[in-house]
Structure 1
Amino acid sequence: MNEGGLTCDAFLGGRVHAWQPARGYRAGTDPVFLAAACPARAGQSVLELGCGVGVASLCLRARVPDVRIMGVERQAAYADLARRNGLDVTLADLAALPAALRARSFDHVIANPPYFATGDGTAARDDGREAALREATPLSVWIGAARARLRPKGWLTMIQSADRLPDCLAALAGGFGAISILPLQSRMGRPARRILLRARKGGKAPFTLLAPLVLHAGVRHEKDGDDFAPVAASVLRDGAPIDWG
C-alpha cells in the first residue's frame, strides 16, 4: 500500500504492518531479529531507544501481546509514523530524556543503534537515513541510557554491526554482566556482519559467545526468491523467538 511518499509494509508473514517512508531509512530484517532476541514476558515493560517507525516493538508485541512498550525517537517524522503504527512514543534525544521518562524504569531495553561511527563511510543522501545509520550519539551513551532506564537485573538487547562489538563490550563494562553474543552469519563460511547482544544490569554470569545463527541455506544464492534457513525463516515469517540456549 502506498500513500504520499509512504508505504505500508508487512512483517512476520503479514502479522505486522507498518507505515514507513518510501525513501530514506526503511526497516528490514534487523528489527525483526532484535524483537525475536528480546526475552520479554507478558506483563513486563520494554523501552525501545531510537525506535524509528517502531517495527521492532510491533514485532515484539505481536509475539508477546501483553507486554507494555514505549519508544523514544529523536526524528519527528519517524516518531509520528511510529504513533500512527500504534506505539506510545516520546519525541526526545536519548541523551537528554524528559524528566517524566527519567523517572521510570523498565524490565527490558531494546535498541538498534546506528552501525557507522561518526566519519565512517559516505553520507547518505536522505537525512533520515543518514541519522539512522551513522551515529550522532556515541554507542557508549546509548548503552548508558539503557542502563539508567533498566530496573536491577533488567535486560538490554541490541543488534549491531559486528565490527562495533569491541565498542559495545567496553561500554557494557560499567554495570552489565551475563553478556551473551550471537553472531548473525549470512551463509556458512562467511564472516558475521551483525551481532545480537544481550546483557543484564548487575548480572554476574560469565560472558558467552554463542555459535552463529546462519541466515541462509547453502553457500550461495541458487534461485529466485529467498532462501532463508529454517530457524531464520521461523523468526522472520512466524515471529518465533530466538533460543539463546
Structure 2
Amino acid sequence: MEQEAMRLVGGDETLDDLIIGGFKLIQPRKGYRFSIDAVLLAHFAALEKVKQAVDLGCGNGVISLLLAARSPNLKITGIEIQEQMAERAQRSVEYNRLLQQVQIVEGDFCQIDRHLPPGSAGLVISNPPFYGRGQGRISRDPEEAVARHETAMTLDALVAAAYYLLSPGGSFCLIHRCERLPDIINCCMAHRLLPVRLRAVHSFQEQEARLVLVEAQKREQGPFKLLSPLIIYKRAGIYSKEVMSLYYGEER
C-alpha cells in the first residue's frame, strides 16, 4: 500500500488512519479536516434494511467511508460541490478499494435533480456547515469556508434535497449545533419529513449540550424518541467508553 499512497496522496496532503474498518482518509495538511462529529453521525444512522445511502456535502469523504465500514453491502453516493474535495474523496475511495461500493459525484445538491433520481435512497446523511450566512468569522481558506458556513447552500436547500432523494419511510440524519434545532425541525416539517429521533451531544457530562443528532423520516406520523445524552469525553483528552466503542467495537 505504500506505493499506492505515494501515487494517490499529494505532497500537501496527509493519509490519516480512521481506525474504523481499517480505512484511511486523504486530507489536506492545512484547511478543513474531519472531526469526531463525522464519527458520531455515521454511527447514529440506522443502516438495517438500507441498500442505498447518499452523503450530501461529503467533503473529503469521511462519512461515506465510515458507512462503508459499518455495512459492506451498503451502496453509498457522496455528493460534493467543491472540485478539490470531491477529487480527494475519490482518491480515498480508490485507496481503500471501495470503488464498487462508494461513488463520489462532484455537484451541487441544491440542484440535486441534475445528479440523482428521486426516491432513490433509504438514507440521506449530512454533516452540514454549522454557521448560517452572516454568522461567525469566515475562514480565508476557501474549502474550510464552504465547509463551515452556508455560503454555497442553506439548511432549507439541504432538507429539500433530502426529501427529494428519500424513498417512502427513508431516513434523513444530520448533526448540527443545538442552537439550530428549531430551524432544523421547522425545515423538516415544512418539507414533510417527520422528526423521529434526537440525541444531544455533550463534550463532558457536566457541560451543556453543544451538538445534536437528528433523524427525520419521510412519513406522516409515528413515535418520537428522545435518546440518552451522548458524552464525548470522560475527562480531558480521554474519550468516553461509548465513543471508544465506536472506534474499537467494544468498551475499553
Would the TM-score normalized by the shorter structure come out above 0.5?
A: yes
Partner of 1:139: 155
Q: C-alpha separation between the residues in 2 aligned to 1:62 and 1:152?
A: 25
Is 1:107 the counterpart of 2:122 in the alignment? Answer: yes
> How many residues are matched?
233
Contact 2:178 2:211 in 1 (8 A): yes
Q: 2:63 aligns with which of 56, 65, 80?
A: 56
Contact 1:158 1:198 in 2 (8 A): yes
**1:112 corresponds to which letter in structure 2?**
N
CA RMSD of aligned residues (A): 1.8
Partner of 1:243: none
Choose between structure 1 and 2 for higher RCO, CA contacts under 8 A separated by at least 6 residues: 1
Contact 1:42 1:66 in 2 (8 A): no
The share of aligned pairs that are identical, in percent, is 30
Q: 1:70 aligns with which of 77, 81, 101?
A: 77
Q: Which TM-score applies when normalising by structure 2?
A: 0.87
Structure 1 residues 104 and 84, CA, compared in 2 at 3 Å: closer, same or farther?
farther
Partner of 1:229: 240
- 1:159-170 to structure 2, matched below 5 A, reads 159-170=175-186
Deviates most, 153-162 or 170-179: 170-179
**2:238 corresponds to which letter in structure 1?**
D
Deviates most, 44-53 or 187-196: 187-196
* Structure 2, unpaired ranges of 5+: 94-101
Partner of 1:129: 144
Structure 1 residues 99 and 127, CA, compared in 2 at 3 Å: closer, same or farther?
closer
Moved over 6 A (4+): none
Q: C-alpha separation between the residues in 1 aligned to 2:159 and 2:53?
A: 15
Deviates most, 53-62 or 91-100: 91-100
Q: Which TM-score applies when normalising by structure 1?
A: 0.89
* Structure 1, unpaired ranges of 5+: 241-245
Contact 2:200 2:230 in 1 (8 A): yes
Is 1:46 the counterpart of 2:63 in the alignment? Answer: no
Deviates most, 112-121 or 196-205: 196-205
Q: C-alpha separation between the residues in 2 aligned to 1:81 and 1:115?
A: 22
